[in-house]
Amino acid sequence: MEEIRGRIHSEESAGTVDGPGLRYVVFTQGCPLRCQYCHNPDTWGLNGGKLITPQDLIDRIVKYKDFMKFSNGGVTVSGGEPLIQPKFVTELFKGLKAEGIHTAVDTAGHIDFSKDIEEVLKYTDLVLLDIKHLDPIRCKELTGFDNLRTLRFLDKLEDMRIKTWIRYVIVPTFNDTVEYAEKLADYVKKYKTVELVELLPYHEMGKFKWENLGLKYRLQGIEPPSKETVKAIAKIFNAKGIKTLGGGI
Ligand code: SF4
């Protein structure tokens, strides 16, 4: 049988922003989207990064098990887009679950649902799902693709009862209005599996990477949203009974 290996970009042993508690974060290599605000454009290429077996990664991760347990943390696989390597993530999560470690996947959900994806979800405790934009045309402008796959993926998460946090990157001129926040709140409210919405104000921290890669940064001149805007958005979700997290407020 062919050995499963994953292509990863990097690892972080004590992440605090990608799911609950202290987390070992694995950034996978390769992403089909081209989000204008991406702060990891160096993860886009499908052939970059380094190859690793799930077991090698598990051996490294288990050394941090006590920290993770103590903080109610675990492991998050982020990217890039982790779900383009479903067999690797399944094997990794299977091993982590056998060690009693909490597993999360951070995804844009822009994948065709398949048996392989279903397998990943069997070993996934939490999905962090990034809804880039509810309007398919605006979504395409922002990421290069419409949102159809992402929204279908959310339906599947609901069917499978997988605990989900929605990630909402607030980008001025794209999705920072009260009207948009109302729409998103109404949309996600229907899903029992959605536990909260994480507010992530757009920032320019990845801009230098675009420049280093010789890419044109298209959000040039767009300022991060103000604290007032983020607070107003949080209030909209909270008023509809949806818990919010983050946003620096
Ligand atoms: S999905 Fe994530 S990694 Fe891919 S382009 Fe968008 S922000 Fe970057």
- Ligand 1 pocket by C-beta < 6 Å: which residues? 31, 33-35, 38, 40, 43, 79-81, 108
Residue 204: pLDDT over 80: yes
Distances in Å between the Cα of 238 and the Cα atoms of 116, 189, 202, 241, 247 are 35, 11, 21, 5, 14
Residue 125: pLDDT over 80: yes
Distances in Å between the Cα of 100 and the Cα atoms of 13, 68, 83, 90 are 17, 10, 22, 15
Two structure tokens written together for 168: 């909402």
Structural domains of the chain ordered from first start? 6-246 (3.20.20.70)
* Residues 110, 81 contacting (CB under 8 angstroms): yes
Mutate to test the pocket of ligand 1, among 38, 168, 205 (most ligand atoms within 8 A of CB): 38
Mutate to test the pocket of ligand 1, among 17, 28, 31 (most ligand atoms within 8 A of CB): 31
Q: What is the reported pLDDT for 128?
A: 98
Q: What is the reported pLDDT for 44?
A: 96
Listing DSSP states for 110-148 in one string gives -S---HHHHHHHHT-SEEEEE---SSHHHHHHHHSS-SH
Q: How far is CA 135 from the centre of its chain?
A: 19
* Residues 42, 215 contacting (CB under 8 angstroms): no
Residue 51: pLDDT over 70: yes
Q: What is the reported pLDDT for 205?
A: 85
CA-nearest residue for atom 7, ligand 1, is 38
Q: In angstroms, what is the span from residue 81 Cα to ligand 1's centroid?
A: 7
Q: In angstroms, what is the span from residue 46 Cα to ligand 1's centroid?
A: 13
- 3-state secondary structure (DSSP) of residue 157: helix
Whether the pTM exceeds 0.75: the reply is yes
CA-nearest residue for atom 3, ligand 1, is 80
**Which atom of ligand 1 is found nearest the CA of 108?**
1
Mutate to test the pocket of ligand 1, among 7, 18, 85, 143 (most ligand atoms within 8 A of CB): 143
129-143 pLDDT per residue, tens: 999 999 999 999 999
